[in-house]
């Protein structure tokens, strides 16, 4: 699956660049990367041209349902003998992607460049939105703008959103997961209800840009159909802090948050402030037991407290939480304060 391990590769690549001298390989070719802001203008024009000449079978999705990816058909407008585009066929059932209200226009900043990407929302899903660093269980199919498919899944697969192309971390959290637990269908496969289903249209700057895998040209805009089934938060370093909480500057890039300056980002660092205690040992953990058979209600968590796990058995809910301690009340949690090393 080509979208996997992109971020990890990028991190290793950056470390490699910072550790190599310019004359390490004086005979090697010099690759001049295009300016990202200029390339975004080109990519966006290309996407807008695609939307103006492609349509989808909108009436198929007039009613809510658990649709298959194969139900969605995106087609190019027909052409006359001179190659000119003809009007939209069957406009009662089809819509141009460029028609008002069909696509959602999204804006994000990545590597100091403002990008536009686009979403076709078939069904929003009825569950919950993933965090940008979660694991997600998903089906997807990726194609180029010439419709060539370069990657797809045959069955639902689990992906870590940290390790995929940046556009996924933007688009997937816009959708919700399925409702309830999956059931097993007659074919023995898992079946999900009311899941998020859509298409993302990504400029190359939110995809592979100048370093794509084999089979994808450089500076390619990418199109992904996807079904979002389930999600779960990640704690990549096992320090008790969910990875999405370690995005201290809120830019959804976990690799540039490094409190102790040791070149290991916080979400991979078990001791974020490099004091005498690990991060986990600077937290306080609580366990709550809620007997719903007796009408008990779940606890209201403190502002600095968050849930890390729950189990349900015979109407009894067991909830484990973590509390971010701030022993000197300076507004900085102990696990990020190198001047505090008090066991939680």
Please enumerate in sequence order all residues whose Cβ is within 8 A of that of 92, keeping only pairs 6 or more positions apart, or say none: 59
Predicted TM-score (pTM) of the model is: 0.88
Model pLDDT, residue 340: 78
Q: How far apart are CA 328 and CA 53, in angstroms?
A: 61
* Annotated domain spans of the chain: 6-232, 243-336
| CATH number for the segment(s) 6-232 | 3.10.50.40
Handedness of CA 49, 51, 56, 59 (dihedral sign): negative
Model pLDDT, residue 28: 46
Model pLDDT, residue 20: 36
Model pLDDT, residue 2: 60
Model pLDDT, residue 189: 87
Mean pLDDT by 10 residues, the chain (344 residues): 53 37 45 90 98 98 95 97 96 98 97 97 97 98 96 95 96 97 89 97 98 95 98 96 96 94 97 95 96 96 95 96 94 92 58
Tell me which residue of 178, 238, 256 sits closest to 10, measured CA to CA. Answer: 256
Model pLDDT, residue 19: 33
Model pLDDT, residue 18: 34
Q: How far apart are CA 159 and CA 139, in angstroms?
A: 10
Residue 174, token pair as written in the block? 């816009």
Which residues are 284's β-sheet partners? 323
Residue 246, token pair as written in the block? 């370690």
Model pLDDT, residue 339: 85
Check: CB of residue 136 under 8 Å from CB of residue 159: yes
Backbone φ, ψ for residue 145 (5° rounding): -70, -15
Tell me which residue of 44, 208, 72, 211 sits closest to 140, measured CA to CA. Answer: 72
Q: How far apart are CA 97 and CA 120, in angstroms?
A: 8
* Cα angle: 169, vertex 171, 175; to 5 degrees: 115
Tell me which residue of 140, 206, 220, 221 sits closest to 175, measured CA to CA. Answer: 140
Pairing status of strand 135-143 against strand 104-110: unpaired
Residue 63, token pair as written in the block? 């009613």
Please enumerate in sequence order all residues whose Cβ is within 8 A of that of 343, keeping only pairs 6 or more positions apart, or say none: 277, 281, 282
- First-to-last alpha carbon distance for the chain, in angstroms, is 42
3-class state of residue 62 by DSSP: coil
Q: How far apart are CA 344 and CA 325, in angstroms?
A: 7
Residue 28, token pair as written in the block? 């090697």
**Helix, strand, coil abundance in the chain, percent, nearest 5:** 20, 25, 50
3-state secondary structure 228-280: EEEEECCCCCCCCCCHHHHCCCCCCCHHHCCCCCCCCCHHHCCCCCCCCCCCH
3-class state of residue 180 by DSSP: coil
Tell me which residue of 277, 288, 279 sits closest to 321, measured CA to CA. Answer: 288
């Amino acid at each position: 699956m080509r979208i996997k391990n992109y971020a990890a590769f990028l991190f290793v690549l950056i470390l490699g660049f910072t550790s190599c001298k310019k004359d390490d390989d004086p005979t090697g070719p010099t690759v001049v990367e295009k300016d990202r802001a200029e390339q975004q203008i080109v990519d966006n024009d290309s996407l807008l041209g695609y939307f103006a000449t492609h349509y989808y079978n909108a009436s198929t999705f007039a009613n809510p349902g658990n649709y298959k990816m194969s139900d969605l058909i995106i087609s190019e407008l027909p052409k006359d003998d001179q190659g000119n585009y003809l009007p939209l066929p069957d406009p009662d059932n089809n819509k141009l992607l460029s028609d008002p209200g069909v696509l959602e226009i999204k804006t994000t900043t990545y590597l100091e460049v403002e990008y536009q990407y686009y979403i076709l929302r078939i069904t929003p899903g009825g569950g919950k939105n993933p965090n940008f660093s979660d694991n997600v269980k998903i089906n997807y199919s990726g194609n180029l703008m010439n419709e060539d498919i370069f990657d797809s899944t045959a069955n639902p697969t689990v992906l870590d959103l940290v390790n995929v192309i940046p556009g996924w971390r933007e688009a997937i959290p816009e959708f919700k997961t399925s409702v309830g637990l999956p059931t097993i269908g007659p074919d023995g496969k898992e079946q999900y209800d009311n899941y998020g289903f859509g298409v993302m249209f990504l400029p190359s700057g939110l995809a592979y840009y100048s370093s794509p895998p084999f089979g994808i040209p450089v500076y390619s805009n990418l199109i992904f159909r996807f079904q979002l089934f389930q999600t779960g938060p990640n704690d990549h370093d096992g320090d008790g802090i969910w990875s999405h909480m370690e995005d201290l500057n809120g830019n959804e890039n976990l690799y540039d948050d490094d409190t102790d300056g040791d070149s290991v980002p916080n979400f991979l660092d078990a001791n974020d402030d490099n004091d005498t205690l690990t991060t986990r040992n600077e937290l306080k953990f609580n366990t709550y037991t809620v007997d719903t058979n007796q009408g008990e209600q779940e606890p209201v968590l403190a502002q600095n407290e968050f849930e890390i796990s729950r189990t349900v058995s015979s109407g009894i809910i067991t909830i484990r939480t973590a509390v971010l301690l701030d022993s000197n009340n300076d507004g900085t949690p102990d696990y990020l304060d190198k001047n505090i090393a008090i066991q939680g």
